[in-house]
């Protein structure tokens, strides 16, 4: 215990004296020496050892130069595994599974979709809400009968005729070493697959997303069509701003990639 206190004091004094590089390297070498001194044939690293090297990896650029007990790739794999476990715990459901869908709702969705071939999941979902059924649009889309046949020729013709006037928007995520998730918003032109605009935020909102559309198309460069998915981030603020720019929104079908 006394030895640990002395080492900690020396570490602090080195940092205060402007010897941060020496202090970090000294701490790294001392930690490895402590592992080697354990009276076992093959030293095993415990959770505290792994956390030490993960922390060193995050704050010291030259941490590999002092590493000799394991491969550098092993340390990075520890960090990835820690990140995976952290977000796995956060994503665990609070309740055991989703509630079962009653048979009468399944039958009603099938009947509505069969009797009205032009109705999509949003229209069927709206009619069910009018009848007092509490069900999500995603569930309605999953219960609707699957349509067979090849893609409509009209849609293919639309794509060919308007590819130069069409853009798509979407989000993708980037995990950081601090166990945070950044959301990257991208605006993509269809004609030559060009990235017209992108931005990063940690807390995306409909208002922030709408502002990105304004910044992506200054002056008179707005496209005619904007293709997007049905994510809740494209809420009232977003749709109002896009409609105000004179852009026609084309939401893709539910559960599409």
Give the domains, in start order, of the chain with CATH numbers. 2-90 (no CATH), 103-143 (no CATH), 153-251 (3.30.420.10)
The reported pLDDT for the residue numbered 198 is: 94
Structure letter (DSSP) for residue 38: S
Helix (H, G, I), strand (E, B), or coil: what is residue 250?
strand
In this structure, are residues 182 and 161 in contact, taking their beta carbons and an 8 Å threshold?
Answer: no
Quote the pLDDT of residue 2. 47
The model scores a pTM over 0.75:
no
List the beta bridge partners of residue 250.
227
pLDDT tens-digit readout, 116-170 = 888 888 888 888 888 888 888 888 888 888 776 665 556 677 777 888 888 999 9
Distance of CA 230 to the CA centre of its chain: 16
What is the Cα–Cα distance from 39 to 53, expressed in whole angstroms? Answer: 22
pLDDT over threshold 90, residue 171: yes
Helix (H) or strand (E) holding 187, with range, is: strand 181-189
The H-assigned helical ranges of 17-165 are 20-36, 47-59, 72-90, 103-115, 121-130, 137-143, 153-162
């Amino acid at each position: 215990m006394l030895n640990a206190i002395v080492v900690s004091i020396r570490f602090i004094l080195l940092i205060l004296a402007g010897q941060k590089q020496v202090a970090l390297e000294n701490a790294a070498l001392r930690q490895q020496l402590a592992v080697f001194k354990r009276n076992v044939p093959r030293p095993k690293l415990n959770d505290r050892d792994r956390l030490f090297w993960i922390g060193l990896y995050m704050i010291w650029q030259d941490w590999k130069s002092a590493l000799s007990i394991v491969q550098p790739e092993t340390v990075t794999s520890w960090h990835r595994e820690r990140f995976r476990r952290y977000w796995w715990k956060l994503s665990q459901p609070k309740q055991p599974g989703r509630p079962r869908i009653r048979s009468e709702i399944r039958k009603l969705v099938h009947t509505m979709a069969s009797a009205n071939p032009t109705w999509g999941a949003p229209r069927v979902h709206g009619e069910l809400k009018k009848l007092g059924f509490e069900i999500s649009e995603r569930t309605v889309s999953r219960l609707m009968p699957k349509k067979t046949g090849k893609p409509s020729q009209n849609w293919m013709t639309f794509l060919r005729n308007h590819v130069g006037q069409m853009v798509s928007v979407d989000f993708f995520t980037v995990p950081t070493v601090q166990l945070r998730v950044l959301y990257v918003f991208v605006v993509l032109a269809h004609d030559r697959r060009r990235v017209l605009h992108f931005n990063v935020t940690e807390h995306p909102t409909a208002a922030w997303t709408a502002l990105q559309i304004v910044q992506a198309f200054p002056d008179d460069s707005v496209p005619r069509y904007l293709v997007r998915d049905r994510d809740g981030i494209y809420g009232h603020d977003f749709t109002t701003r896009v409609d105000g720019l004179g852009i026609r929104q084309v939401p893709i079908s539910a559960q599409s990639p």
